[in-house]
Amino acid sequence: MIKIKELLRLELARLLDLQGEGLGANAAFESPKLAAHGDLAITHALQLSKVLKSNPRQIALALQEALLASPVVQAWVQDIEIAGPGFINLRLKPVAKQAVIDEVLRQGAGYGTRRANAADKRLDQSGEMRADLAPSLLVEFVSANPTGPLHVGHGRQAALGDALCRLFETQGYRVHREFYYNDAGGQIDNLALSVSCRLHGIEPDDPAWPAEGYRGQYIVDIARAYEAGESVQCDDRAVVSLKDHQDMAAIREFAVAYLRREQDLDLAAFGLKFDQFYLESSLYTSGRVERAVEQLKASGHTYEKDGALWLTSTAFGDDKDRVMRKSEGGYTYFVPDVAYHLSKWERGFHHVINIQGSDHHGTIARVRAGLQAVSDLQGLGIPKDYPSYVLHTMVRVMRAGEEVKISKRAGSYVTLRDLIDWTSKDAVRFFLLSRKPDTEYLFDVDLAVAKNNDNPVYYVQYAHARICSILIKEGRMALVQEAAGAQGAESAQEPGADLSPLTSEAALGLMLLLAKYPEVLTSAAKDLAPHDVTFYLRELAASYHSYYDQERILVEDVVVKNARLALVAAVAQVLRNGLSILGVSAPQVM
């Protein structure tokens, strides 16, 4: 159906060009809001009324006549109606909708991705995106300083960031996952001091405990590991304890490595691995911060006032100018952020998405202002909206009807590991992606472990498992691809299988939903909206459950049975593909 829809779009473009040169350039179909209005909608008559200086309904009538006379349209369209002031509604023939089944099953795990589009000139002969033409994207997310376990807010970032990475990979991007953190500064000093206190037998209730010290159980664990002379290895560093209670530098280095390892373990439990860990401290040691400051000065957009250095960020749309260097010395936190994003641009990442908490909203204007000032000076061509941001709100956790605020492990907040241990990786990922990022989310632990239709991840996974039980019984399970990214699966249909029995309203509705999947991925990536994938999967699961209740799959009529097996196998494949985008498994048995 995807190919058929494209054929129809090209024919629509040709017919629009006959109305006026270039009018077909934006030919497109829309999806009617109500199924009763048809399968595809054309709204060009309303848009062209001013250009053609004609009544939109008259334009629609002329376009309808041209469409009805077209052999391409006659082959795939059942009827064409005009509604309202000039809307044109098309209802496709069943054979057009049935075509999506073969498309899904032949493309398998690649269905919905850009590489499944043979017309894309950026693809090589194997269907892969050519490395020299594939656009690059850097997504920075989680980016938690190693001062404690990852909390549920970091979990929301991890789910959002990884889902966006997977979405853009389906669109042909080479995606780079980056984790930015600081291994120096006041927070790290407090961490080292807290561990030192534990090493000297000082506890949080003791008057000698630092006011800003960290109180969680993990501080005790770090102190014990340091005292035992343990070695710590994480993704970006390796440290051996010196066991010296007086060496604050050694304690600091060990504590940072220990907590970085804990972060790695949490991320591994979440099914997430980063391509690079970028140190804020490296921006200073490499001279990038000082170089950025000198460039900002040279741009003419800084001035001295009250002993401080200011950036005229108001010249770039900020609501007030911002302090760069404080009067007592030291740079404000947005200055290294500017240097860091200049580094991203210089590394060739001209498309960047940052996932951050909504409390970082104020940094957006000042970072962009700094980048624009340097860009104007150097002629870098950095866009005004660089980088892109996805801001998320807080996550609250409910368990047994009460809000949970304290974790034994962290001491003052619920950790990502808590949620995974209480529920599952799949539940945490799906739940944290099931709302818009800027919507405050209440994570209901009891709902996440419930095995009923109220639990959205269970509902979707059960639809997949329900289909698998049928396919396994018929010996057809191998026809649904396991691994995301696999290619070349054969169709679940027998050669020359007859799909004509698939004409019921429920079956045709399922096929339309399957055909919608590639568009869902494209729009979700474009809008930075992975929650749209969860909405789609819930809709597809509901449509399948409804179909299952209306039509038996394993009937005696072999032609009907094979057609229905092909349809449900296609549904299983798309459910599996969509869950993979979210980083959620698709179990065969539940």
* pLDDT range class, residue 480, cuts 50, 70, 90: confident
| Closest listed residue to residue 394, CA positions, set 97, 87, 56, 156 | 156
Q: What confidence score (pLDDT) does residue 407 get?
A: 66
- Greater confidence (236 vs 95) lies with 95
pLDDT of residue 386: 98
**Cβ atoms of 385 and 431 closer than 8 Å:** no
**294 contact partners, CB below 8 Å, separation of at least 6:** none
Q: pLDDT-derived band of residue 228, with 50, 70 and 90 as boundaries?
A: very high
pLDDT of residue 242: 96
Mean per-residue pLDDT of the chain: 92
Range in 162-166, 236-240, 572-576 the model is least confident about: 236-240
Longest Cα–Cα distance of the chain, Å, equals 89
DSSP sequence for 279-321: EHHHHHHTTHHHHHHHHHHHTT-EEEETTEEEE-GGGGT-SS-
Encode pLDDT of 66-123 as tens digits.
Answer: 999 999 999 999 999 999 999 999 999 999 999 999 999 999 999 999 864 544 555 5
Percent of residues in the chain assigned helix, strand, coil, to nearest 5: 50, 15, 35
CA angle 507, 510, 516 (to 5 degrees): 145
The rounded distance, in Å, linking the Cα atoms of 279 and 365 is 23
Is residue 407 within 8 Å of 418, Cβ to Cβ? yes
Residue 408's pLDDT is what?
61
Contact between 267 and 234 (Cβ < 8 Å): no
Q: Is the per-residue pLDDT at 483 higher than 80? A: no
What per-residue confidence (pLDDT) applies to 477?
Answer: 86
Strand partners, 304: 309
- pLDDT at res. 83: 93
More confident residue, 210 or 406: 210
CA dist., res. 93 & res. 95, Å (int): 5
- Sketch out the chain's domains with CATH numbers: 2-92 (3.30.1360.70), 136-183+277-392 (3.40.50.620), 186-262 (no CATH), 397-449 (no CATH), 453-582 (1.10.730.10)
Please state, in angstroms and as integers, the Cα–Cα distance from residue 340 to each residue in 236, 284, 315, 421, 516, following that order.
Answer: 18, 10, 21, 35, 39
CA distances (Å), 225 to each of 230, 234, 407, in order? 6, 15, 21
pLDDT higher than threshold 70 for residue 409: no
Q: Which residues of 224-253 are buried (b: 16+ CB within 10 A; e: fewer)?
A: ebbeeeeebebebeebebeeeeeeeebbbb
Note the pLDDT tens digit of each residue in 326-385: 999 999 999 999 999 999 999 999 999 999 999 999 899 999 999 999 999 999 999 999
* pLDDT at position 32 over 80: yes
Q: 179-212, pLDDT tens digit by residue?
A: 999 998 899 999 999 999 999 999 999 999 999 9
pLDDT of res. 491: 42
515, HSE (Cβ side, Cα atoms, 13 Å): 23
Q: Which residue, 522, 407, 465, 455, is CA-closest to 155?
A: 407
Q: Are 582 and 533 in contact (CB under 8 A)?
A: yes
Cα first-last separation, the chain: 32
What number of other Cβ atoms are within 10 A of residue 88's Cβ?
A: 24
Q: pLDDT per residue over 35-66, tens digit each?
A: 888 999 999 999 898 888 899 999 999 999 99
pLDDT at 344: 98
**C-alpha span between 464 and 474 (Å, rounded):** 16
Q: Which residue, chain included where needed, has tokens 């907590």? A: 259
Peptide bond connecting 336 to the previous residue in cis, omega within 30 degrees of 0 = no
CB 518 within 8 A of CB 171: no
Task: Judge whether residue 310 has pLDDT over 90.
Answer: yes
Task: Please report the pLDDT score of residue 529 as a whole number.
Answer: 98
For residue 339, the model assigns a pLDDT of: 98
Token digits of residue 123: 């693809």
Q: Give the tens place of pLDDT for each residue, 391-402.
A: 999 999 999 999
* Percent of the chain predicted with pLDDT > 90: 85
Residue 211's CB is within 10 A of a number of other CB atoms, namely 5
